[in-house]
């Protein structure tokens, strides 16, 4: 996976991060603002005090606009080249931290984030075990009552992609399976949207007192 994404980042990072908005810097930035509002933060009471983690930050398309709304943003990605470009894109933002991941978040401390999310990332992951490993780590790094919002490819009728796929057309989930996997990692699923579509999204909460 890493080799594939290093190659894509070198070829055309903006295109592979957001295929519909890579024609200009302005459209790319606007797509980040739009997706942040309409697909990541919609319906959430976002606090300026939040510490936020993005899994699969790419070149920082969502990290940059998010940094002005919360206290701290950490973005992780498999690709060194994506992260290099993200550091350029987010230059001068003191509350942004960018880290490389090998598929785990063990370098992040327990209960250190209020909100964890991933958008148009897991739809490219070739094994469900990899996705679920991120779910478990997201649960660990969230504070009690913290929120996890995750998007996957929900076109589960594509039977050949249910278990093994590649690093572009990744594995697919039904809404029921997505909720079940989140719940066996400890989450309480509070919302499912986009069942049967490429943009299947779940919102889940880490149980806690209060």
CATH assignment of the domain containing 170: 3.40.50.150
88 domain residue, yes or no: yes
122 domain residue, yes or no: yes
Question: Which residues, 6 or more positions from 127, have their beta carbon under 8 angstroms from its beta carbon?
Answer: 163, 164, 165, 171
Domain count for the chain: 1
Q: Record the pTM.
A: 0.95
pLDDT of residue 164: 66
210 domain residue, yes or no: no
Which range marks the domain in which residue 139 is found? 2-205
What percentage of the chain reaches a pLDDT higher than 70? 98
pLDDT of residue 101: 96
| 39: pLDDT strictly greater than 90 | yes
pLDDT, greater one: 27 or 160: 27
pLDDT of residue 37: 97
pLDDT of residue 169: 87
- Residue range 168-210, pLDDT digits in tens: 889 999 999 999 999 999 999 999 999 999 999 999 999 998 5
109 domain residue, yes or no: yes
Strand-by-strand arrangement of the 51-55 sheet: 96-100, 72-77, 51-55, 113-118, 142-152, 200-205, 188-193
- Residue range 40-67, pLDDT digits in tens: 999 999 999 999 999 999 999 999 999 9
Which residues in 64-98 are b (16+ Cβ under 10 Å) and which e?
A: bbbbeebebbbbbbbbebbbebbeebbeebeebeb
């Amino acid at each position: 996976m890493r080799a594939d994404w290093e190659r894509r980042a070198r070829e055309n990072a903006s295109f592979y991060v957001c295929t519909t908005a890579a024609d200009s810097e302005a459209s790319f930035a606007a797509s980040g603002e739009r997706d942040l509002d309409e697909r990541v933060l919609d319906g959430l009471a976002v606090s300026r005090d939040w510490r936020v983690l993005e899994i699969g930050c790419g070149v920082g398309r969502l990290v940059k606009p998010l940094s002005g709304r919360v206290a701290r943003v950490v973005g992780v990605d498999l690709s060194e080249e994506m992260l290099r470009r993200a550091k350029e894109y987010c230059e001068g933002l003191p509350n942004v931290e960018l880290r490389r991941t090998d598929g785990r978040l063990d370098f992040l401390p327990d209960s250190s984030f209020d909100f964890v999310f991933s958008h148009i990332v897991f739809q490219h992951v070739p094994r469900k075990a990899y996705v679920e490993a991120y779910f478990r780590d997201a649960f660990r790094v969230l504070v009690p009552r913290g929120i996890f919002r995750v998007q996957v490819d929900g076109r589960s009728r594509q039977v050949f992609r249910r278990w093994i796929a590649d690093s572009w057309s990744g594995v697919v989930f039904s809404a029921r399976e997505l909720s079940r996997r989140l719940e066996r990692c400890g989450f309480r699923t509070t919302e499912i949207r986009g069942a049967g579509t490429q943009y299947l999204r779940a919102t889940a909460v880490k149980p806690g007192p209060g």
